[in-house]
Chains A and B, each alone.
Chain A
Amino acid sequence: MSDACEFLERRTTGDDGESFDHERPYCTAVDAFVQPMRADVCTKRYGLDPESDCEYYREAKDLGSITDASGVDAAGDDS
């Protein structure tokens, strides 16, 4: 099982007809090739995770605000 984002594909051609010599990361959530930096989130490199680090994933999965997470302890005053 791939550990990458479920919306990640590797493609050489896009829906708009663009074509590349090498396979590139493609996001099926937004139907677009992914910027290289963002691809590190898609592939979960460096501890990144689409669930916490990608707005496209969160929107596609309807995860809501990052402050909606349950079980968060009441934090001290950080202001």
Chain B
Amino acid sequence: MSYDDYHAGKPLIVTAALTGGVHGKEANPNVPETPEEVAEAAAAAEEAGASILHLHAREDSGERAFSTERFQELTDAVRAATDDVIIQHSTGGTAAPDALRAEPLRTDPAPEMASLDMGPLNRYQHLTSENTRALVDALHEEMQSRGIKPELEVFNGGHLNESLRIWDDLDDPPYVNLVFGGGTTTIPSPRNLVNMVDNLPEGTEFNVLAFGPHQLPLTTMGILMGGHVRVGLEDNLYYEKGTQAESNAQLVERTVRIATELGRPVATTAEAREILDL
């Protein structure tokens, strides 16, 4: 993927990360948490142009949930509220036991996609999401057995090394999510985005995820570099400095508007499936 793809009018896949599991309504009351709220947000994000929905399950209190049962309730609600989107379940889970991390893969039907964290990252002062190679391999193996395409979560450059470790076992095209922000993620800068993209093997499809105030500039850059983008309240609670985002759809609408102005068509769900060979 490259600037040439942008000029050639390659469709842009927009992923909406609707809720996450790190922050919730205590940070922005517009973050959807219950299955009903997430389903409503999903429908609006689809209407706005998102073709992939990245989902985390929560309890009604906003706390994280990893059980297949809660993911089933969530995905059923989202599927009922949406027309035809690609469902992507998170398998992330700082401090959660390894056995729980596979639970989101076991819904019926299985999600078309799932996230696969490629290495360790720090949380707060005392927590680390270890994401050992053994866990990565186990989750990947279960994804393969269930026909789920992994999105490789590359939180920093070292995680790209870790991705290359399993590269030959990935179905084409590999789909890499390049993450920029604070802490253990890649330092957010245009130069670092260029460098990370330069390090991707030929034939990779990449997505840009940048936290907080970096979401808008770096995803816009990703659009121009022929990549795909992820936006949403999981990654960014604000529409602009000092103004909280009203909804996930508001963030998707802005991305679609920018892509359209730049002459990059936004992928339909069918086009997204074709690009990712789902």
Residues of A within 8 A of B (CB): 10, 18, 20, 22-25, 32-41, 43, 45-46, 48, 52-55, 66
Contacts and interface: CB of A to CB of B under 8 A. Distances in A.
Interface residues of B, number: 24
B61 A37 contact: no
27 contacts: A10-B61, A18-B26, A22-B62, A24-B25, A24-B26, A24-B61, A25-B61, A25-B63, A35-B22, A35-B23, A35-B24, A35-B27, A36-B63, A37-B94, A37-B95, A37-B123, A38-B124, A40-B63, A40-B64, A40-B95, A45-B95, A46-B95, A46-B96, A46-B97, A48-B127, A55-B126, A66-B126
A23 B63 CA distance: 11
Contacts of B27: 35
A37 B64 contact: yes
A25 B61 CA distance: 8
B125 interface: yes
A34 B97 contact: no
A52 B126 CA distance: 8
Interface string B50-83: 0000000010111110000000000000000000
A39 B127 CA distance: 12
B60 A36 contact: no
B42 to A, nearest CB: 19
- Interchain residue pairs A-B with the least CB separation, the first 10: A33-B26, A55-B125, A53-B126, A22-B60, A36-B63, A39-B63, A37-B22, A36-B62, A36-B24, A46-B95
